[in-house]
């Protein structure tokens, strides 16, 4: 794999999205972004293995935003994260990446916060949902979330989610998503149970592994 860095402007992205990346100080892609974004933008499923701090959030965040239709107010992307802290970080990063458009709504759904306000937020709607497995499954069980419109499903820190015992919850969440979605699996390691997850959730995925830090 090439170790050359390249700029976001080499990708087929909307100019206003590139300008916003510039304003965030993102000009060069990190190695995981350079390796994954061409694949993600081709709408292929992907397993990406890279260390913490390598810029994975922007990789899938840009992928989500590149195909999001802001005028279609339905949940078009779902990101599943192992913890509330990570879900909050991912939501905040996607909101920053989404600043080029006025009206992209990102909703965070995690445990440890009251259910009722979340249900009210879901009734108002969102384009992108970021959440933890238990709470997402809870909403699915209550019928308060509709995931059949999901075009992009991201399993972030998949190895951690499996280690924390979330595998069966994820099975239930994935089953509620559109079968025609694109699925992106990000993991710091690639043990056997992640291979099993990828076979169950992804379709002919590309596999990339980036060793270097950015
Ligand atoms: P990971 O999920 O791989 O652990 P993050 O997505 O949290 O990593 O990104 C780590 C840091 O790198 C964040 O502070 C983010 O703002 C920054 N970052 C991501 N992409 C770029 C980029 N292309 N240029 C500069 N900084 C970036
Ligand atoms: Mg991350």
Q: Which domains does the chain have, with CATH numbers?
A: 13-208 (3.40.50.300)
Cα 144–Cα 146–Cα 149 angle in degrees, nearest 5: 165
**What number is the average pLDDT over the span 107-128?**
96
pLDDT at 214: 46
**What number is the average pLDDT over the span 25-49?**
97
**Among protein residues, the one whose CA lies closest to atom 1 of ligand 1:** 53
Q: Which two tokens stand for residue 63?
A: 């992928």
- Per DSSP, the chain holds a count of helices (H) and strands (E) of 9, 7
**Spacing, Cα 51 to ligand 1 middle (Å):** 11
pTM comes to: 0.96
> pLDDT-based confidence at 1, cuts 50/70/90?
very low
- Which distant-in-sequence residues (6+ apart) come within 8 Å of 29 by Cβ? 5, 6, 7, 8, 37, 55
Q: Which residues, listed in sequence order, are joined to residue 183 by a DSSP beta bridge?
A: 153
Q: Which residues surround ligand 2, an ion (CB under 5 A)?
A: 56
pLDDT at 191: 87
- Which distant-in-sequence residues (6+ apart) come within 8 Å of 53 by Cβ? 213, 214
Q: Which of 20, 138, 147 is nearest to 79 (CA)?
A: 147
pLDDT at 167: 95
pLDDT at 193: 87
**Among protein residues, the one whose CA lies closest to atom 19 of ligand 1:** 55
Ligand 1 in reach of 29 Cβ (< 6 A): yes
Contact (Cβ atoms closer than 8 angstroms) between residue 51 and residue 213: yes
**What number is the average pLDDT over the span 154-181?**
96
**Spacing, Cα 116 to ligand 1 middle (Å):** 33
> pLDDT-based confidence at 102, cuts 50/70/90?
confident
**Spacing, Cα 41 to ligand 1 middle (Å):** 19
pLDDT at 208: 96
Ligand 1 in reach of 91 Cβ (< 6 A): no
Lowest mean pLDDT among 40-44, 85-89, 210-214: 210-214
pLDDT at 77: 98
pLDDT above 60: residue 112: yes
pLDDT at 213: 52
How far are the Cα atoms of 118, 140, 198 from residue 109, in angstroms, in the given order? 7, 12, 24
**What number is the average pLDDT over the span 82-96?**
98
**What number is the average pLDDT over the span 60-81?**
97
**What number is the average pLDDT over the span 41-56?**
96
């Amino acid at each position: 794999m090439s170790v050359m860095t390249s700029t976001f402007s080499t990708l087929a992205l909307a100019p206003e999205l590139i300008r916003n990346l510039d304003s965030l100080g993102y000009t060069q892609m990190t190695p995981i972004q350079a390796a994954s974004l061409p694949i993600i933008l081709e709408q292929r499923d992907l397993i990406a293995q890279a260390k913490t701090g390598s810029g994975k959030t922007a990789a899938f965040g840009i992928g989500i935003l590149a195909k999001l239709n802001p005028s279609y107010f339905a949940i078009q992307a779902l990101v599943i994260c192992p913890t509330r802290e990570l879900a909050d970080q991912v939501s905040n990063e996607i909101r920053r990446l989404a600043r080029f458009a006025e009206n992209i709504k990102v909703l965070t759904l995690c445990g440890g916060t009251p259910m009722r306000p979340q249900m009210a937020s879901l009734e108002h709607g969102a384009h992108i949902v970021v959440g933890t497995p238990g709470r997402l499954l809870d909403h699915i069980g209550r019928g308060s979330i509709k995931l059949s419109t999901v075009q992009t499903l991201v399993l972030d820190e998949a190895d951690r989610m499996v280690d924390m015992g979330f595998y069966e919850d994820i099975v239930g969440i994935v089953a509620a998503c559109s079968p025609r979605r694109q699925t992106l699996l990000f993991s710091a390691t690639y043990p056997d149970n992640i291979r099993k997850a990828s076979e169950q959730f992804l379709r002919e995925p590309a596999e990339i592994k980036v060793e270097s830090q950015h």
